[in-house]
Chain A
């Protein structure tokens, strides 16, 4: 039994035989041919087959990946029909009396070399295309099936990594799971696995040994392990794990459309956290009641300059429209600390967690803040938007924020731009905010408790410091009492209270939070149904 670990792309367990996928190499042989006309006919037939393959690849790619990706197969088809290329092959077979495989390979190499020697980067790159079409014809001649899986029953596909054309060509009905030695969460293999909804591991520490072919194995996408030749005990354990997972998944799917209500009739909103627009798919698929935390940082990260109001508006509008009237709580810019953006030119700090970050930057650089607020208010016309502000410590901060919000609303009204009512709330993530929560509650419509930062600041433990992992305890009574106090004071001041930190998905605490009177829990989309189940069992 060999246990390897990899990065899981999709949960689930697959059990089956390994199929070692290798790029098949034809070993070129030069043979003397007597009947050259018959050999030419053999070539013509192979060319015809290759053309048909390119045709079907073109249509397959068009459906699966779009025009851009598909075009290459159309160009390959034309190259395969090129007069000079064909003449060269035919005359080599006829005059040199060589086999078709040899004539095609050598011709391909010659044309490829001609392209490679060109003084033009684009045309240089076309040398690969010539080699590709020649290889395709040679494979047909030699009877090598590319992307074919020579197995009757479905297999666990083990490969180094897969190219786009390989993922297009693979017979997907024969694949139980993917395990690749390389690749990433964004590689073609990962994308394919997600679209097929089957377990997959990438960056797996496995050797691609011929002897693994046909060997029984397990892909555990839950814990990111690949077990080759499992012993009896492990095999039994994995069969149970697979059954449990599938049963759980079916059970959870049945909860779609159901209420988040306890057996004694208490109702809680279960919302989802998102970090980009693609996450909305998962929010909808998992039936979340809304978006409880839309981290807006991704709009600012990975670029050279500030996003414009228009760019931001389009993003908020997309999310709001797709959520179709369900609440979307957008958290304003929360950079600084561990999230740095170069063009903000933030000063280097001794202690960034307690430094110039989040709302502190926004209240200092009001123009950046206003751009974001304008974009959100404009988008509010397309759904139910709410805004929350991070890292609040004082009542004066929220009063200042509300002044800026009023300015934005007045400007928009003057410009004749319509917007909807927008709920305003704050993140409660500092002990200071907890201590003055009664006063804060009078200023806002809701609180959302950020348990990660609240734990860090309450316990004075840097959550990035791994040597403190053993004492970083988010169940610490001090943290739980902070949460309790926030809920009580929030309600006293007329604000509803939710939790959007990691603790929200900790089902061992769900009952505690409900007993404290929590109104909303916002978790990663994949935890929504699990949390619903936990609530319904209370």
Chain B
């Protein structure tokens, strides 16, 4: 199986705090693919808010999104757009 990946550098000064984490979870949950997030020190699941929050991603950090599943192309596109718009 293939997979999709993209990287994004956080611009939001609070990093991935509670509110955007929640929105990201909602967005990721729209797809069937698994979405994992990695900031180099910790890995998290973009469909789980606590897991995302516990990564404590800060402004300036680059996170790598790895998307795997039947709708991975659409999911990667939507998530990248979401990150640019919200974080």
Contact = CB atoms under 8 A, between A and B. Distances in A.
B74 interface: no
B54 A115 contact: yes
A-B pairs, top 4 by smallest CB distance, nearest first, are A78-B22, A120-B56, A75-B18, A83-B48
B59 to A, nearest CB: 12
Contacts of A111: 50
A313 B22 CA distance: 42
Given A75-B18, A78-B22, A118 B56 contact: yes
Nearest to A115: B54
A84 interface: yes
B56 A78 contact: no
A114 B19 contact: no
Judged by DSSP, the binding face of B is helix
B72 interface: no
Judged by DSSP, the binding face of A is helix
A28 interface: no
A71 interface: yes
Interface string A412-431: 00000000000000000000
Contacts of B47: 83
B54 A118 contact: yes
Interface residues of A, number: 21
A356 interface: no
A111 B51 CA distance: 10
B50 A79 contact: yes
Nearest to A79: B49
A55 to B, nearest CB: 14
Nearest to B52: A82
Nearest to A80: B49
Contacts of B48: 82-84
A84 B25 CA distance: 13
Contacts of A85: 50
A128 to B, nearest CB: 12
A123 interface: yes
A75 B17 CA distance: 10
Given A78-B25, A85-B50, A111-B50, A122 B45 contact: no
Interface in B2-30: 14, 17-19, 21-22, 25-26
Nearest to B17: A122
User: Which residue, of B49, B51, B53, B56, has the highest number of chain A Cβ atoms within 10 A?
Assistant: B53
Given A71-B19, A75-B19, A83-B45, A114 B54 contact: yes
Nearest to A71: B19
Interface in A82-140: 82-85, 111, 114-115, 118-120, 122-123, 126, 129-130
A74 interface: yes
Interface in B50-79: 50-51, 53-54, 56
Interface string A491-510: 00000000000000000000
A74 B19 CA distance: 8
Contacts of B45: 83-84
14 contacts: A75-B22, A78-B22, A82-B48, A82-B49, A83-B45, A84-B45, A84-B48, A115-B53, A118-B54, A118-B56, A119-B56, A120-B56, A123-B53, A123-B56
A122 B21 CA distance: 13
